Amino acid sequence: MKLTMYQVDAFAERVFEGNPAAVCPLEYWLDDTLLQAIAEENNLSETAFFVPAGEAFELRWFTPAEEVDLCGHATLATAHVIYTHLGYSKPALQFLTRSGVLTVTQQEHGLCMDFPAAMPVATGGPSALLAGLGGAPKTVLAAFDYVVVYDSEEDVRALTPDFVQLETLGLRGVVATAPGQEVDFVSRCFFPKLRVNEDPVTGSAHCELAPYWSQLLGRKALTARQLSKRGGSVACVIKGERVLLSGKGVDYMVAEINIA
């Protein structure tokens, strides 16, 4: 069996920026064990697989460790592949996922994803969280991640997490955030439980970050920057109980997987 695989840098303006995702178009679903093995072999934060489903596409995302419920950058990468390489010409794509129907539309300056919003709520800071971050942040919140708020961009840049401590937490991961100097807010995202110690750019984290900062700043449209080594930018718009996340995809590689 031979499978075509695309590697796309998502939320990027150029190659080697943003978050790399692998995308594998399939005619039908393969065994989950094989899908997980491909993701582990790729050793990227996400590998996306999709199959046609009428007028839509079924879409699934795998880290090197397990399948996940929601992934932004691999959704953007998948939409990029369908529009750029597979001849899709309709203005909107619909993906059927574990998180419901996700719509992606083409815009003048990239792709816009319609995702569910998740407002984080105040919570106590578990000892492993505080130990793993090296001290108490200004505020600790929780949605599907712990969202820890700091006073400044410099505070977030300076974090040197203890990933062994953070791996023991009950939620998916830890998202550190603060007001930005040149954007509305910045973040860093840590997911050691998923074997992704620091994710370069995390679309799904902005489903919880954008509602928080929108409420705090009193604006629906926000600009964000993730402060990983690669870095990447995400434009966010709150729309009721949904959040629109926009960015670009850049081709890095087209490859062929050989499965004996």
Verify that 47 and 18 share a domain, yes or no: yes
Verify that 181 and 157 share a domain, yes or no: yes
DSSP the chain: -EEEEEEEEES-SSTTSSEEEEEEE-SSPPPHHHHHHHHHHHTSS-EEEEEEETTEEEEEEE-SS-EES--HHHHHHHHHHHHHHS---SSEEEEEETTEEEEEEEETTEEEEEEE----EE----HHHHHHHTS--SEEEESSSEEEE-S-HHHHHT----HHHHTT-SSS-EEEEEE-SSSSEEEEEEEGGGTEEEES--TTTHHHHHHHHHHHHT-SEEEEEE-SSS-EEEEEEEETTEEEEEE-EEEEEEEEEE--
Verify that 226 and 250 share a domain, yes or no: no
Verify that 128 and 105 share a domain, yes or no: no
27 is catalytic: no
Structurally, the chain folds into a number of domains equal to 2
Verify that 186 and 150 share a domain, yes or no: yes
What is the average per-residue pLDDT within 158-181? 96
Verify that 227 and 153 share a domain, yes or no: yes
Please provide the average confidence, as pLDDT, over all residues in the chain: 95
At residue 168, the pLDDT reads 95
Verify that 172 and 96 share a domain, yes or no: no
Predicted structure pTM score = 0.89
At residue 260, the pLDDT reads 76
At residue 125, the pLDDT reads 85
Verify that 104 and 46 share a domain, yes or no: yes
Verify that 24 and 43 share a domain, yes or no: yes
pLDDT tens, position by position, 91-137:
999 999 999 999 999 988 899 999 999 999 999 889 999 999 987 89
Domain range for 251: 2-112+246-258
Catalytic one among 17, 41, 46, 208? 46
Verify that 87 and 163 share a domain, yes or no: no
Q: What is the CATH number of the domain that holds 38?
A: 3.10.310.10
- Is pLDDT at 229 greater than 90 in this prediction? yes
pLDDT tens, position by position, 6-33:
999 999 999 999 999 999 999 999 999 9
Verify that 78 and 106 share a domain, yes or no: yes
At residue 135, the pLDDT reads 79
Verify that 92 and 180 share a domain, yes or no: no
What is the average per-residue pLDDT within 207-227? 97
What is the average per-residue pLDDT within 180-203? 94
